[in-house]
């Protein structure tokens, strides 16, 4: 016969009775079975958990709250969205909250008294047991990340497990709390991806900023930075070891471009860079740069005589193979080297100005040194550097005083000698003579102070010269002014716009060629007129003249003085100038001859059809 279970009569409030009926209906069990289950659970918690000292410090509570505390504790845990569970010291569940039930889609009854292996998926059970053991071994809170698959999605939980001890320090339970960090983890992963993408973008920008895209060598700007550091280091040493700046020019690269196309020329440059990298151990400590289309720069601490180093480079690049469209071509580069010993007569100039100086020396040396393909700048022959250094010091003084000198002269109609325009040039005065910015620019001086000098000059023209103008004026400006003028908030642009009704801005051919987009943008956006200076000095582009004339922004051109004077006794030069004049007249462009200082030049200008002349009258210098 089956043993009869004892019957307990309990008087319940109507509200609790109603709640029990609702729960029993949800769970599909009778009210009596539900009450029996709840009592069993409550007794288990009382016996195994609630009797611990963490619940004993309740003397200050009323009798009513002492009785309600365990129930309140359970309700609070069931309210939280974080899964919470408690295991005994045998790692069997003695409590799980509602969030834990929902996570694994099981009831409390299915967990109580069972281990992870019995109720959880194998992959979760193994992880839970391991982290339980870690918490017990550590004898303190531990943190781990556990993954749970639910409804086809993988959720990530940040799990904290804490051993619970009785008042004697004996382990009685392990408390576990999990926080769903899936969304946070996804955001974190997305941030990591974006950070990685940003880092990659930064590295690409750095490559663009510091390295030449064809060769992988330092570009001009970065090479100048490195050269500046080396110069400063040499200045601090008493007896520095030999260190050389070597410029290597591929003289026939332009011819290769014209003959085979620019892709062929690029392949030549890349092959030369590859060879230089390969032979670098034989050269000594070397830093490579590509400072222009056809010019490499090397900083060398040589292992032997510098002339032997040059021969090694020259022999290695004497005959190279270039691949183009799957065909192999042999190409013999024609190289020219210019060498400056940095250790002897350590440069006083900035690295930027020194590099320009050596480039200028190389240009002239290529014409004079016909028997050899290298030129060594002797320590006692650095007069150009001395001149530049003098300019640097003068400019620095003028900038400190916020001063600039201005020179003006008249431009007259060649037929009636009436003044039609005023020409304005800025510069500095050394106490003996006026040095204009064009001369300074030709000397290859650059730098922040030169830029500031031109800013001061432009400001002075606006305040001093512009208010007194009775005729339109030509004003010489450089590439730096063009570049700064593309920024709407720049002071230079504000001065240009203020004076544009009376000023025609004069730029060199090279400025037009190298900054065409900027020139066109300024001209179109602000309706500014330009004139081109020094026609004949560089590679005059009839295409540029036509394009600018069609846009209505070019109305005048000025001829380079030396070319114009040479044309008097040179048929080829004369034919060139006459061709340009004829072309200009067809486009409606007026022509100006500059530095007209004799009757011979004046008559020549008149005979070939020049419209205006400059330079036959005295010049006025405002210091």
CATH number, domain with residue 371:
3.30.70.270
Helix axes 448-460, 491-499, angle to 10 degrees: 30
Q: Quick one: 219 and 145 in the same domain?
A: no
Q: Quick one: 418 and 319 in the same domain?
A: no
Share of the chain above pLDDT 70, in %: 81
Residue 66 confidence (pLDDT) above 90: no
Average pLDDT over all residues of the chain: 80
Which of 347, 379, 411 finishes a domain?
379
Q: For residue 327, which phi and psi values (nearest 5 degrees)?
A: -110, 145
Residue 249 lies in a domain: yes
Residue 198 lies in a domain: no
pLDDT band at 620, cuts 50/70/90? very low
Helix axes 220-236, 351-368, angle to 10 degrees: 100
Which of 379, 403, 427 finishes a domain?
379
Q: Quick one: 223 and 151 in the same domain?
A: no
Q: Quick one: 537 and 617 in the same domain?
A: yes
Residue 382 confidence (pLDDT) above 70: no
Residue 203 lies in a domain: no
Which of 181, 200, 235 finishes a domain?
181
CATH of residue 122's domain is 3.30.450.20
Tally of structural domains, the chain = 3
- Residue 619: the pLDDT is 45
CATH of residue 609's domain is 3.20.20.450
What is the rounded CA–CA span in Å between residue 387 and residue 440?
10
Q: Quick one: 375 and 405 in the same domain?
A: no
What is the rounded CA–CA span in Å between residue 261 and residue 528?
36
Q: Give me 610's structure tokens.
A: 């020049």
Residue 13 lies in a domain: no
* Of 142-146, 289-293, 548-552, minimum mean pLDDT range: 548-552
Q: Quick one: 519 and 402 in the same domain?
A: yes
Residue 229 lies in a domain: yes
Q: Is 290 helix (H, G, I), strand (E, B) or coil?
A: strand
Residue 2 lies in a domain: no
Helix axes 306-316, 262-283, angle to 10 degrees: 140
Tokens 């922040």 belong to 448
Q: For residue 543, which phi and psi values (nearest 5 degrees)?
A: -65, -45
Q: For residue 361, which phi and psi values (nearest 5 degrees)?
A: -60, -40
* Of 16-30, 60-74, 288-302, minimum mean pLDDT range: 60-74
What is the rounded CA–CA span in Å between residue 227 and residue 342?
10
Check: CB of residue 424 under 8 Å from CB of residue 406.
yes
Question: What does the pLDDT look like over 452-496, one tens digit per residue?
Answer: 777 888 888 899 889 999 999 998 776 556 655 555 667 777 888
Q: Quick one: 466 and 513 in the same domain?
A: yes
Q: Quick one: 611 and 565 in the same domain?
A: yes
Q: Quick one: 232 and 174 in the same domain?
A: no
Residue 310 lies in a domain: yes
Q: 402: domain range?
A: 387-622
pTM beyond 0.75: no
Q: Quick one: 316 and 415 in the same domain?
A: no
The average pLDDT across 595-611 equals 87
* Number of Cβ atoms within 10 Å of the Cβ of 583: 16
Q: Quick one: 356 and 397 in the same domain?
A: no
Q: Quick one: 134 and 275 in the same domain?
A: no
The average pLDDT across 106-131 equals 86
- Residue 85: the pLDDT is 87
pLDDT band at 289, cuts 50/70/90? very high
Between these two residues, 515 and 168, which has the higher pLDDT value? 168
Residue 263 lies in a domain: yes
- Residue 584: the pLDDT is 87
């Amino acid at each position: 016969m089956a043993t009869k279970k004892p019957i307990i009569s309990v008087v319940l409030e109507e509200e609790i009775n109603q709640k029990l009926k609702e729960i029993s209906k949800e769970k599909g069990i009778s009210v009596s079975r539900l009450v029996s289950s709840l009592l069993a659970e409550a007794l288990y918690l009382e016996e195994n958990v609630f009797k611990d000292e963490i619940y004993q410090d309740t003397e200050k509570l009323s009798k009513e709250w002492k009785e309600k505390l365990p129930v309140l504790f359970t309700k609070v845990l069931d309210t939280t969205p974080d899964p919470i569970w408690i295991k005994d010291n045998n790692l069997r569940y003695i409590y799980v909250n509602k969030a834990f039930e929902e996570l694994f889609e099981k009831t409390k009854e299915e967990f109580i008294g069972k281990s992870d292996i019995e109720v959880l998926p194998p992959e979760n059970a193994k992880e839970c047991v391991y982290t339980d053991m870690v918490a017990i071994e550590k004898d303190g809170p531990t943190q781990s990340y556990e993954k749970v698959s639910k409804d086809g999605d993988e959720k990530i939980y940040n799990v904290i497990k804490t051993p619970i001890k009785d008042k004697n320090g004996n382990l009685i339970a392990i408390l576990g709390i999990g926080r769903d960090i899936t969304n946070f983890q996804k955001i974190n992963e997305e941030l990591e991806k974006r950070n990685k993408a940003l880092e990659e973008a930064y590295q690409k920008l750095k490559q663009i900023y510091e390295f030449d895209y064809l060769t992988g060598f330092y570009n001009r700007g970065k090479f100048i930075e490195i050269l500046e550091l080396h110069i400063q280091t040499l200045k601090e040493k008493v007896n520095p070891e030999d260190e050389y700046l070597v410029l290597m020019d591929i003289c026939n690269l332009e011819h290769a471009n014209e003959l085979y196309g620019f892709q062929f020329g690029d392949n030549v440059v890349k092959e030369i860079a590859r060879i230089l990298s390969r032979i670098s151990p034989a050269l000594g400590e070397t830093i490579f740069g590509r400072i222009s289309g056809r010019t490499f720069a090397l900083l060398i601490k040589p292992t032997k005589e510098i002339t032997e180093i040059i021969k090694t480079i020259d022999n290695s690049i004497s005959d190279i193979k270039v691949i183009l469209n799957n065909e192999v071509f042999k190409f013999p580069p024609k190289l020219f080297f210019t060498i400056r010993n940095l250790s002897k007569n350590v440069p006083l100039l900035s690295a930027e100005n020194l590099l320009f100086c050596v480039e200028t020396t190389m240009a002239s040396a290529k014409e004079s040194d016909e028997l050899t393909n290298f030129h060594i700048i002797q320590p006692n022959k650095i007069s150009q550097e001395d001149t530049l250094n003098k300019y640097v010091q003068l400019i620095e003084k003028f900038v400190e005083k916020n001063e600039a000198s201005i020179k003006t002269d008249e431009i007259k109609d060649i037929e009636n000698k009436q003044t039609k325009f005023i020409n304005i040039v800025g510069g500095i005065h050394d106490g003996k003579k006026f040095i204009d910015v064009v001369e300074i620019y030709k000397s290859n001086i650059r730098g922040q102070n030169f830029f500031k000098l031109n800013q001061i000059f432009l400001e002075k023209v606006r305040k001093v010269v512009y208010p007194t103008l009775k005729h339109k004026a030509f004003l010489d400006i450089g590439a730096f002014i063009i570049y700064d003028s593309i920024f709407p908030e720049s002071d230079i642009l504000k001065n240009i716009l203020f004076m544009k009704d009376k000023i025609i801005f004069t730029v060199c051919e090279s400025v037009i060629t190298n900054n065409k987009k900027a020139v066109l943008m300024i001209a179109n956006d602000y309706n500014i007129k330009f004139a081109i200076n020094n026609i004949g000095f560089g590679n005059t582009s009839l295409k540029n003249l036509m394009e600018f004339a069609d846009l209505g922004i070019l109305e005048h051109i000025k001829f380079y003085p030396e070319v114009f004077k040479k044309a008097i006794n040179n048929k080829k030069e004369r034919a060139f100038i006459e061709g340009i004049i004829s072309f200009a007249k067809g486009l409606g462009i007026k022509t100006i001859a500059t530095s007209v200082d004799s009757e011979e030049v004046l008559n020549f200008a008149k005979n070939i059809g020049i419209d205006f002349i400059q330079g036959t009258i005295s010049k006025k210098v405002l210091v």
